[in-house]
Amino acid sequence: MSSRSPHHAVYVISVAAELAGVHPQTLRIYERKGLLEPARTSGGSRRYSDIDIALLLRIQELTNEGLNLAGVQRVLELERENRDLRRQLADVEDRARAQVAEVERRHRADLVPVRQSVVLYEGRRRRNP
């Protein structure tokens, strides 16, 4: 396993296309449609990362299921939004847990245990004379 970051763009278009199982022209179309944004060298050549390859495979999966490129774009947007919302929710949950723990810690000294027992009365009721 390489220590290279999955965001590091190293693949030329022909290698990226081969890894994704598509024609290089398909990658250009995906880029024009806004589905993919490869890095560029100073000379303008496209370079693809492992993240880009994973995205290409996801696009292929969706198109193989019958979605057109507009549908693929919408699904990818919704998946991104879903990931972002899940991250935000996890952050809110973490903060809420921390706040509850802090309140419990601060008020622990104020709490006094109370012992109560319930006794059922089984005697007769007195009548007033």
What pLDDT score does 126 carry? 67
Specify if 57 maps to a domain.
yes
The tokens 């890894």 sit on which residue? 19
Specify if 113 maps to a domain.
no
Half-sphere exposure of 99 (CA within 13 A, CB side): 6
What pLDDT score does 12 carry? 95
Cα 5 to Cα 10, 40, 55, 92, 99, distances in angstroms: 10, 17, 16, 29, 35
**CATH code (residue 81):** 1.10.1660.10
Closest alpha carbon to 53 in 84, 9, 83, 2? 9
What pLDDT score does 37 carry? 93
Indicate the pTM of the whole model.
0.70
- Domain hosting 97: range is 13-108
Low-confidence ranges of the chain (pLDDT < 50): 1
